[in-house]
Amino acid sequence: MDIRRAAALLLALVMIAALTVGCGKKQSDTPADTPAAGADVRTPAQQPAKLVCYNGSVTLRFVREEDTWYWGDDRDFPLEQSIVTELLATVQGYAALSPLPHTDDLSQFGLSDTKRYISLTDTEGNTRTYWLGTQTDEGQYIQPEGETDAVYLSPAGVDGTLSMGIYDMARLPQLPQLTADNVSALTVTAADGKSLSLTASEGVWLRSGQDVTQWSGKLTEALGQLTLLRCIDYRPSTGVAELCGLTEPAVTLTVTYRAIAGETELTLRVGAQRDGGYYATVNDDDTIYLLPAAPAEALAALAANGLNG
């Protein structure tokens, strides 16, 4: 075999290998699924069953069963349905777009060497893949797989969603609105063991049976600010809770309150500081969330100094 034939054979093998590389795991830098081409890339799927998004570094896979979407890597993950359905609606809208004129130079649309794509598969197994180009003020340029000479402009881009990690798509627990009207008992405990314990009756805060409502302003404000900003880590690995200061929380809030389902308990553990907030866990769930700084610091002060904190 001469040198030219050997070089041609080597080049062919490299090209075949490149075409068989797929999309990686959720945090992989290399895509590990190759986008599959469907029978009709321009017909909207009536029954979408799978959505795959690759933003150039991370692949997110979603699957649909009946009317519910799940994260393909873990179906127990509390996926916020509205994020996926909005993304789906945008992708389905691609089928109604008209091609742009003068699209010979794909580089002007960010499509000449893009690796980012979204693919949608229906229940019949038909898959449509859209390559994603530049996001502009007018919209986002896309190119359906198989339409090498056509470029479309979608008025609704998906770049914002694609920049999200899976934890940004988590459905956050809704913390209850806690007041003296629905709380039966409340204890705030600091890491050193200092604590503040109150009960409530008919809208009045009581400490050891004495009305302390007039001094409860900071407590009322802190309870009113309780909310979770985002998910930090779902099913954290061993040692992560300790690193986040949650094995020995800086402050723990334990509340018994009346809800629609009857008397309910809430335990909120607050750990170390991060990004203007504090790590926190809710009840027995080990998922780590971010709690705003204001209520976390107010609760810590109340535990340390009582109602004068």
Q: How far apart are CA 234 and CA 251, in angstroms?
A: 21
Contact 112, 104 (CB under 8 A): no
Mean pLDDT of the 175-194 span:
96
Q: How far apart are CA 132 and CA 116, in angstroms?
A: 5
What percent of the chain stands above pLDDT 70? 85
Mean pLDDT of the 96-101 span:
93
Least confident stretch, 10-19, 104-113, 147-156, 237-246: 10-19
Mean pLDDT of the 284-309 span:
94
Q: Tokens representing 183?
A: 């709380």
Mean pLDDT of the 133-159 span:
92
Least confident stretch, 29-38, 138-147, 216-225, 287-296: 29-38
Tell whether the model's pLDDT for residue 4 goes beyond 70. Answer: no
Tell whether the model's pLDDT for residue 31 goes beyond 60. Answer: no
Tell whether the model's pLDDT for residue 135 goes beyond 50. Answer: yes
Of 150, 152, 153, 166, residue with least CA distance to 73: 166
Least confident stretch, 33-37, 217-221, 240-244, 295-299: 33-37
Q: Which residues of 241-269 are buried (b: 16+ CB within 10 A; e: fewer)?
A: beebbbeebbbbbbbbbeeeeeeeebebb
Tell whether the model's pLDDT for residue 19 goes beyond 80. Answer: no
Determine the angle formed by the axes of helices 217-224 and 293-305, rounding to 10 degrees.
150
Q: How many CB atoms lie within 10 A of CB 191?
A: 16
Q: How far apart are the first and last CA of the chain?
A: 86
Contact 163, 179 (CB under 8 A): no
On whether the pTM is more than 0.75, the answer is yes
Tell whether the model's pLDDT for residue 215 goes beyond 80. Answer: yes
Q: Is 296 helix (H, G, I), strand (E, B) or coil?
A: helix
Structure confidence at residue 144 (pLDDT) = 95
Mean pLDDT of the 2-24 span:
34
Q: How far apart are CA 62 and CA 144, in angstroms?
A: 20
